[in-house]
Amino acid sequence: MAESPARFGEATISLRISVGVCCVVPNDDDSMASLLGRADAALYQAKGQGRNTLCLAPPHVHPSKTNRVHIIEH
């Protein structure tokens, strides 16, 4: 988006975006509100890190679960 500014009449408007994502397989402990809350927290983290940033919400690790998911960020 940063490389494709919007045009309005004669004006050029720079575009920037910050994105927060929660990408998990929900379990019984998750609700729509909790998943949206995690995505919202990731969005505010992205905004805090600057423009043109994407942040993933960390996986929710349940103490009773032995399997862990590792996320590789690029």
State the Cα–Cα distance between residues 61 and 74, nearest whole angstrom.
22
Domain locations along the chain: 17-74
SS3 label, residue 6 = strand
pLDDT tens sequence across 14-57: 988 899 999 998 888 899 999 999 999 999 999 999 888 999 99
Would you place residue 71 in the very low, low, confident or very high pLDDT band (cuts 50, 70, 90)? low
pLDDT at 66: 40
pLDDT at 23: 92
SS3 label, residue 22 = coil
Is the Cβ–Cβ distance between 55 and 22 less than 8 Å?
no
How crowded is the C-beta side of 40, counted as CA atoms within 13 Å?
6
Nearest to 42 by CA among 26, 73, 21: 21
